[in-house]
């Protein structure tokens, strides 16, 4: 059944959305939430398991103090109150890769509650209220083998990997976010982006959306403009990129409006997001009959973080990324547009590190955002994994500044660095990339170019200095790019004045 979608402009004209986001953050602790098993990503299936995370009869959980610390740090960074005393609860439901058939989570007693995060969208600030941030454990991972789609339907058998079972998760839940309809998709995206930046700054998670270490559930409902009651919400699960968050909100707004315009009733259900076309499809219907039978986990003692500890953690919080961003934009003199690109690409920490090596901010920005980002995108990796370090970028720029190479040659130096051909100096040496520093060959090339284009010489002599460009181009070609264009220009003008 295909959805009837109302164009976004029409949705915006008729309805007000209520947005809610539940973001799961996988903490980067060395051990799991309730046992001492390692948490390394990508290990062979079922090699990081023990009786506790396998849920074997008799095994018992013990809370990981580092995970509690991570939860408190996230809570503090989100301006939350930290519970003086809280408990874990059992959330009882069946799930094939959940070995105990209950998830140990927090229910009515979260570790952090009542906070907020200010989200910037195009210079406008929206305050997103945080209802709670609570601790829980991740489930295992199923692989369905034999079917065409990789889904359980049609599969011959399923394999379960429990390595991920018991990895600590923090679930951050917003209150309904009431924003102008046209802003809803952008606010949703900006919230998740800013939350991710905060998590990165805290150092509590790898914060890789592509590896699922941050994933968002998008709740959305629509109500006719001016209505004070919330509509029925849908919950789009496990959206795993910033762009997808924005698209999911947009799609659900259009879909809900289609149902409401036709006089229909939106079902309260969970939905799957499809990366290929940005659509969502029905998961399972969520009814009131779903009953998790929560009760306090009797195998765990309550968590009671001392106020002294909480204050110690508060004192060590890093600078808020939003404030840091504003500060660095000011210091570096980046325009709003430049800063937006820097931010979106995740280049800011790399630029910061490059500047710390002595490079001018604009030069650092140019290399990371203009050149290296394209290479990272082509290779399908994060900018930080492109194969060049901030220190190397600083070295290359220093060589440009010293006129040993120019920008064009610098790109070839980066090629060599990525290919592992040694240091920048070694790459230049091996590839013969240094600029021609002797005027002799340049003058010869200039003469040759002028001889080939006598009318150009006349134009330059007549005061049209821009015409020198054609001669410079010819000289650069003749020297295979290893000429300093500025020096060539000087020589041309000297010669013809």
Partner 1 sequence: MSELIRKTAAELADALAAGETTSVELTQVHLDRIAAVDGDAEAGVHAFLHVDAEGALVQAAESDARRAAGETRHLLDGVPIAVKDVLTTQGLPTTCGSKILEGWVPPYDATVVRKIKAAGLPILGKTNMDEFAMGSSTEHSAYGPTRNPWDQTRIPGGSGGGSAAAVAAFEAPLALGTDTGGSIRQPGAVTGTVGVKPTYGGVSRYGLVALANSLDQVGPVTRTVLDSALLHELIGGHDPLDSTSVDVPVGAYVEAARQGATGDLSGLRVGVIKELAGDGWQPGVMQRFAETVDLLKELGAEVTEVSCPTFVHAMATYYLILPAECSSNLAKFDAMRYGLRVVPDGDPSAEAVMKATRDAGFGDEVKRRIMIGTYALSSGYYDAYYGTAQKVRTLISRDFAAAFESVDVLVSPTSPTTAFPLGEKLDDPLAMYLQDLATIPANLAGVPGISVPAGLAEEDGLPVGFQVLAPALADDRLYRVGAAVEAALTSRWGGPILAKAPTLEGGR
Interface residues with partner 1 (CB under 8 A)?
51, 54-63, 90, 92, 94, 96, 99-102, 291, 293-295, 298-301
Q: Which is nearer to partner 1, 44 or 156 (CB)?
A: 156
Q: Which residue has the tokens 């209220």?
A: 129
The H or E element containing residue 75 is helix 65-77
**Rounded to an integer, what distance in angstroms lies between the CA atom of residue 283 and that of residue 490?**
69
| Pairwise CA distance, residues 131 & 199, whole Å | 18
Please enumerate in sequence order all residues whose Cβ is within 8 A of that of 7, keeping only pairs 6 or more positions apart, or say none.
Answer: 254
Between residues 160 and 443, which has the closer beta carbon with respect to partner 1?
160
- Give the shortest CB-90-to-partner 1 separation in angstroms: 5
Closer residue to partner 1 (CB): 44 or 291: 291
Closest separation in Å from C-beta 220 to partner 1? 25
Q: Please tell me the distance from the alpha carbon of residue 262 to that of residue 272, in angstroms, as a whole number.
A: 23
Query: In the bound complex, what is the minimum distance in angstroms from residue 399's beta carbon to partner 1?
Result: 56
User: Residue 28: phi, psi to the nearest 5?
Assistant: -95, 40
Q: Smallest Cα–Cα separation from 164: which of 142, 194, 185? A: 142
Minimum Å gap between C-beta 212 and partner 1 is 24
- Which CB atom, from 91 or from 255, has the smaller least distance to partner 1? 91
Joined together, the tokens standing for residue 464 give 């049209």
Number of CB atoms found within 10 A of residue 83's CB: 23
* DSSP string computed for 293-310: --EE-TTSPPB---HHHH
Minimum separation from the CB atom of position 294 to partner 1 (A): 8
Q: Smallest distance, Å, CB 87 to partner 1?
A: 12
Smallest separation, CB 367 to partner 1 (Å): 51
Q: Which is nearer to partner 1, 91 or 366 (CB)?
A: 91
CB of 266 to partner 1, least distance (A): 23
- Least distance (Å) between residue 370 CB and partner 1: 54
CA atoms within 13 A on the CB side of 256: 32
For residues 173 and 22, is the Cβ–Cβ distance under 8 A?
Answer: yes
CB 113 within 8 A of CB 131: yes
Least separation, in Å, of the C-beta of 74 and partner 1? 23
Nearer to partner 1, 99 or 166 (CB): 99
Distance between CA atoms of 481 and 436, rounded to whole angstroms? 9
Output the smallest distance, CB 288 to partner 1, in A. 9
User: Which residue lies nearer to partner 1 by CB, 155 or 178?
Assistant: 155
Q: How far is the CB of 134 from partner 1 (least distance, A)?
A: 18
CB closer to partner 1, 83 vs 436: 83
Nearer to partner 1, 34 or 368 (CB): 34
Looking at the Cβ atoms of 15 and 88, the one nearer to partner 1 is 88
Contacts of 351 (CB under 8 A, 6+ apart): 332, 342, 361, 364, 365, 368, 390
Core vs surface per residue 120-150: b (16+ CB within 10 A) or e: bbeeeebebebbbbbbbbbbbebebeeeeee
| d(C-alpha 485, C-alpha 493), whole Å | 12
CB of 57 to partner 1, least distance (A): 4
How many angstroms separate the CA atoms of 29 and 435, rounded?
49
- Distance CA(20)–CA(15), nearest Å, equals 16
Nearer to partner 1, 224 or 295 (CB): 295
**CA 132 to the chain's CA centroid:** 22
CA–CA separation, 57 vs 269, rounded Å?
34
71, HSE (Cβ side, Cα atoms, 13 Å) = 32
Structure tokens at 133: 């941030």
Residue placing its CB nearer to partner 1 in the complex, 5 or 54: 54
Judged by CB, which is closer to partner 1: 60, or 425?
60
CA 324 distance to own-chain centroid: 17
Cα–Cα dist 433/408, whole Å: 10
């Amino acid at each position: 059944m295909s959805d009837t979608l109302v164009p976004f402009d029409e949705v915006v004209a008729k309805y007000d959305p209520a947005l809610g986001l539940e973001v799961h953050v996988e903490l980067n602790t060395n051990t799991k939430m309730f046992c001492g098993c390692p948490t390394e990503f990508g290990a062979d299936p079922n090699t990081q398991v023990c009786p506790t995370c396998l849920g074997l009869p008799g095994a018992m959980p013990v809370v990981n103090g580092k995970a509690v610390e991570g939860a408190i740090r996230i809570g503090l960074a989100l301006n939350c109150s930290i519970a003086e005393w809280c408990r874990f609860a059992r959330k009882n439901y069946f799930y094939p890769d959940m070995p105990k058939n209950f998830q140990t989570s927090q229910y009515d007693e979260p570790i952090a509650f009542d906070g907020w995060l200010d989200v910037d969208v195009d210079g406008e600030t929206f305050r997103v209220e945080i209802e709670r941030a609570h601790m829980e454990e991740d489930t295992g991972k199923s692989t369905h083998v034999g079917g065409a789609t990789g889904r359980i339907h049609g599969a011959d058998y399923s394999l379960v990997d429990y390595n991920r079972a018991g990895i600590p998760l923090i679930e951050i839940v917003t209150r309904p976010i009431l924003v102008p309809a046209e802003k809803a998709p952008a606010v949703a995206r900006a919230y998740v982006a800013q939350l991710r930046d905060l998590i990165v700054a805290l150092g509590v998670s790898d914060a890789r959306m592509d590896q699922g270490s941050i994933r968002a559930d998008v709740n959305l409902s629509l109500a006719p403009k001016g209505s004070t009651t919330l509509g029925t919400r849908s919950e789009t699960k496990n959206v795993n990129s910033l762009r997808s968050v924005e698209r999911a909100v947009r799609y659900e707004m259009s879909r809900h409006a289609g149902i409401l315009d036709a006089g229909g009733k939106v079902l309260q259900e969970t939905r799957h997001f499809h990366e290929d076309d940005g659509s969502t499809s029905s998961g399972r219907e969520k009814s009131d009959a779903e009953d998790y039978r929560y009760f306090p986990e009797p195998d765990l003692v309550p968590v009671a973080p001392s106020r002294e500890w909480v204050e110690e953690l508060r004192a060590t919080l890093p600078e808020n990324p939003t404030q840091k961003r504003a500060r660095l934009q000011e210091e570096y003199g980046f325009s709003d547009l430049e800063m937006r690109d820097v931010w979106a690409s995740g280049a800011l920490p790399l630029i910061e590190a490059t500047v710390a090596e002595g490079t001018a901010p604009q030069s650092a920005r140019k290399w990371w955002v203009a050149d290296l980002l394209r290479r990272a995108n082509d290779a399908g990796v994060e900018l930080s994994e492109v194969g060049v370090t901030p220190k190397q970028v600083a070295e290359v720029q220093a060589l440009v500044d010293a006129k040993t190479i120019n920008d064009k040659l610098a790109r070839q130096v980066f090629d060599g660095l990525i290919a592992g051909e040694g240091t920048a100096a070694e790459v230049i040496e091996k590839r013969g990339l240094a600029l021609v520093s002797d005027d002799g060959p340049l003058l010869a090339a200039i003469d040759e170019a002028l001889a080939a284009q006598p009318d150009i010489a006349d134009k330059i002599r007549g005061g049209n200095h821009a015409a020198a460009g054609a001669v410079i181009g010819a000289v650069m070609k003749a020297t295979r790019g290893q000429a300093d264009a500025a020096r060539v220009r000087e020589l041309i003008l000297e010669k013809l004045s």
